[in-house]
Chain A
């Protein structure tokens, strides 16, 4: 594919096309990818228990980000290993013969698991063909399990016709809406119905990664869509010789009292009971949301759920954190009480640990949850504190940078904000002006329309409420990315595998969005919030910044 590839809407994406590119451009892409990996490394490397998103599948993708697919060029092999190694999530559904199926029944052979649907013309057949080709390169038996995310159309009979076509002994799984939702959630698979005016009816957008479960029933790899048969086969063939990281110290688990015990939707076949897997009811899953962890003061955000993806963070459940340095075990562990915050009020929630890490390097962390009726459980995770953070630390001078304001675009805020209802108060002053004027301000870098995480949703809505509560404070919002006018509607420019960061995002060094910086009249950073922000945290920081 040449430069000048048409993008959506007929736009020309001339530079840094995210599509597969000629070998001469590989070096550039490698550099970009490595730079990006360096920024994102902490986030990717420290997700605990499973490197899987914990968010419930969204019900709709409207307003969600859309990228053209960008397969990784040859030569850029990505780490697909999941650390620490943990038992695969439960997978108990109905197979293509209408029989109860439990993934545990395939113990003894490696299993490739992926999700899709039978009305899927491109992605799923590509996955199935890649798996078919991979099997020819794999020594020994491998189970293949295809799980539908479209149970409304894919009953057992439809799954049977679909998998039988491949004549390869694949297992095709379906279930009720609730069973599929629970299974997808447990595996970190998102899916959403996408309506269009296509004659094919609706499509399902879905996570198309392939999961590799080893013969002992442990989830070992999550392999990206488009990796191809060679990489799939290499991961399977490498299972026996792969060096596994030393498992994190086993966290004590106590049966939870805050949530009802999970009831398997389908009875577990007796065969699977030979190798008992941990009861899901005793496991707390923790996910480190923070991308930046540094030596010194930190605000670390985690979300917690049970293996069925039920939220465990509630206002009456207390979280206690412990961080032990793995580089210097003599250092006293840091213990801190977590603060509960709503991500979406009444819905998704998180805990914040505010503490100081004494040195850079690795930490074994533990979160322990206690409900009104006693101990719920605990889980371990690891964090890696960097020597320096890419974002300005608390107390540092806020970088002076010009941000877009209403007068730049003749008052047409739709050209500088992807917010459906842009608040004019957020686009009156540029950051550099405010610093010169010694005016305290809240600077939100966030894309309501293109933010790629589920934690993003209501941030600007909360910020509007807060702006009304604090009329003396100045608020600035800027899109994180270089935006292009697509005829009255803005859309981010692409760069490498993602969006191109705007100058202000680069000046503030943000590796992810959203980010909120609270800056005092002296031009210094009072507080910064990454990804998940509680509105009360912002209120408290504003009071600090304004001395009240």
Chain B
């Protein structure tokens, strides 16, 4: 099952949080407005001993100007960062990315195009919760503050589930 499918399948379990923020995009050549919302936020149940957790969500920009996710923080973790899971290195000769190494890299700026949606999901973009302060138990809520270039800070509540 692809991660996307899993999101759909478990969608019914979600206590979706929906936050909308908008701001005039002064620096955009078109003078449009970025309007960003984050929905379906969830974090994977995790032992604090795991030292790092992950949270996922859907970020949608219904405005007419692009915005970008440039940071995150959470009271549940010492640090939160936007990361992307990528394939690195050496797949078999001639093959696609299969067989390559799965790696992770910090993402300094995740663009949310005007009218576009970016999914943070397993095997792709995620909020990495570094230095978990407590176990993430199924049913718990985790507050996450997302920082966008234009609309500024948005708070989302991620529901912890098995994932």
Task: Name A's B-contacting residues (CB within 8 A).
Answer: 1-2, 4-6, 8, 10, 12, 18-20, 36, 39-40, 43-44, 47, 51, 53, 55, 58, 61, 64-74, 78, 118-123, 125-126, 129-130, 132, 158, 161-162, 165, 190-192, 194, 196-200, 203-209, 224-231, 289, 291, 452-455, 496-498, 511-512, 531
B50, B83, B97, B122: the one contacting A70 at CB < 8 Å is: B97
Question: Roughly how many angstroms separate A152 CA and B69 CA in the complex, as a whole number?
Answer: 33
Q: Is the CB of A209 within 8 A of B126?
A: no
Q: Is the CB of B105 within 8 A of A194?
A: yes
The residue in B6, B52, B163 that gathers the most chain A C-beta atoms within 10 A of its C-beta is B52
**In whole angstroms, how far apart are the Cα atoms of A209 and B3 in the complex?**
15
Question: How far is it, in angstroms, between the C-alpha of A203 and the C-alpha of B94 when the chains are bound?
Answer: 27
Pairs A-B, 7 closest by C-beta atoms: A228-B1, A205-B103, A6-B111, A497-B96, A512-B94, A199-B79, A208-B102
Residues of B within 8 A of A8 (CB): 84
Chain A residue numbers with a CB within 8 Å of B111 are 6, 10
Min Cβ gap B36→A in Å is 14
A74–B2 Cα distance when bound, in Å, is 7
Q: Is the CB of A122 within 8 A of B104?
A: yes
Residues B94 and A39 in contact, CB atoms below 8 Å apart: yes
- Report if B88 contacts A (CB, 8 A): yes
The CA of A225 and the CA of B3, in the complex, are separated in Å by 10
- Whether B105 and A121, one on each chain, are in contact in the complex, defined by CB atoms closer than 8 angstroms, is no
Taken together as a complex, chains A and B put the C-alpha atoms of A130 and B5 apart, in Å, by: 12
B105 CB contact (under 8 Å) in A196, A208, A226: A196
Distance, CA A199 to CA B93, complexed state (A): 34
B residues in contact with A4, CB < 8 Å: 113, 116
Assess whether A123 is in contact with B99, with CB atoms less than 8 Å apart: no
Asked if A194 and B118 sit within 8 Å, CB to CB, the answer is: no
Q: Which residues of B contact A2 (CB under 8 A)?
A: 113, 116-117
Mark B107-131 against chain A: 1 for CB-CB distance below 8 A, else 0.
0011111001111001110101111
Of B13-21, B24-32, B41-49, B139-147, the stretch lying at the interface with chain A is B41-49
10 contacts between A and B (CB under 8 A): A5-B113, A67-B88, A70-B87, A121-B54, A122-B126, A190-B101, A194-B105, A196-B106, A205-B88, A452-B95
Nearest Cβ on chain A to B133's Cβ, whole angstroms: 14
Number of A-B contacts (CB under 8 A): 240
Query: How many chain B residues have a CB neighbour from A under 8 Å?
Result: 62
Q: Which of the residues B6, B103, B117, B124 comes within 8 Å of A61, measured between beta carbons?
A: B103
How far, in angstroms, from A487 to B87 measured CA to CA in the complex? 23
Q: Which residue of A lies closest to B129 (CB)?
A: A121
Do the beta carbons of A161 and B101 come within 8 Å of each other? no
- Contacts A55-B90, A121-B129; is A161 near B47 (CB within 8 Å)? yes
Known: A20-B4, A129-B44. A122 touches B128 (CB 8 A): yes
| B131 / chain A contacts, CB cutoff of 8 Å | 199
Closest A residue to B96 by CB, please name it. A497
Chain B contacts for A227, CB-based, 8 A:
1
**Known contacts A20-B4, A58-B90, A455-B93: does B104 contact A123 (CB below 8 Å)?**
yes
**Distance in angstroms between the alpha carbons of A496 and B97 in the assembled complex:** 10
Q: Does B85 contact A (CB under 8 A)?
A: yes
Q: Is B100 an interface residue (CB 8 A)?
A: yes
Q: Report the Cα distance A311→B116, complex, angstroms.
A: 50
Of all chain A residues, the one with the shortest Cβ separation from B131 is A199
A132 to B44, CA, bound (A): 14
In the complex the two chains form, what is the Cα distance from A199 to B131 in whole Å?
9
Are the CB atoms of B101 and A207 closer together than 8 Å? yes
Nearest-CB distance from A481 to chain B (Å)? 13
Set A58, A229, A230: member contacting B89, Cβ < 8 A: A58
Q: How far is the CA of A80 from the CA of B148 in the complex (A)?
A: 42
B82 to chain A, nearest CB (A): 10
Known: A53-B92, A70-B97, A129-B162. A162 touches B50 (CB 8 A): yes
Question: Please, which residues of chain B bring their CB within 8 A of the CB of A53?
Answer: 90, 92, 99
B134 lies within 8 A of chain A by Cβ: no
Q: Is the CB of B89 within 8 A of A192?
A: yes
Contacts of B68 in A (CB 8 A): 10
C-alpha spacing A125/B129, complex, angstroms: 13
Are A199 and B44 closer than 8 Å at their CB atoms?
no
Minimal beta-carbon separation of B65 from chain A (angstroms): 14
Tell whether A203 pairs with B2 under 8 Å between CB atoms, given A61-B88, A226-B123, A498-B96.
no
Identity of the chain B residue whose Cβ is nearest the Cβ of A70 in the assembled complex? B97
| Contact yes or no, A200 B2, CB < 8 A | no
Which residues of A sit under 8 angstroms from B100, Cβ to Cβ? 65, 67, 190, 207, 452
Question: What does the 1/0 interface line of B51-94 toward A look like (CB < 8 Å)?
Answer: 11110000000000000100000000011010111111111111
Known pairs A43-B92, A452-B93, A455-B93; list 7 more (Cβ under 8 Å): A43-B94, A71-B123, A122-B54, A122-B85, A130-B1, A190-B89, A203-B103
**Which B residues touch A78, using CB under 8 A?**
98
Q: Which residues of A contact B129 (CB under 8 A)?
A: 121
Q: Name the one of B49, B93, B94 contacting A161, with C-beta atoms under 8 angstroms.
A: B49
**A228: chain B residues within 8 A (beta carbon):** 1-2, 5-6
Q: CA A511 – CA B96 in complex, angstroms?
A: 11
Given contacts A205-B101, A206-B101, A498-B96, A118 and B90 within 8 Å (CB-CB): no
Residues of B close to A67: CB separation below 8 A: 86-88, 97, 100
Question: What CA separation (Å) do A277 and B2 show in the bound complex?
Answer: 36
Check B96 against A165 for contact (C-beta < 8 Å): no
In Å, the complex CA distance between A204 and B104 comes to: 8
- Tell me whether B95 and A198 are in contact (CB under 8 A): no
A69 touches B119 (CB 8 A): no
Query: Could you say which residues of chain A place their CB within 8 Å of the CB of B113?
Result: 2, 4-6, 12
Q: Give Cα A403 to B54, complex, Å.
A: 45
Report how far A66 CA is from B85 CA in the complex, Å: 10
- Please tell me if the beta carbons of B5 and A74 are within 8 angstroms of each other in the complex: yes
- On chain B, the residues within 8 Å of A6 by CB distance are 110-113, 118
Take A66-B87, A291-B94, A512-B94 as given contacts and tell me if A5 and B116 are in contact as well, using a CB distance cutoff of 8 Å.
yes
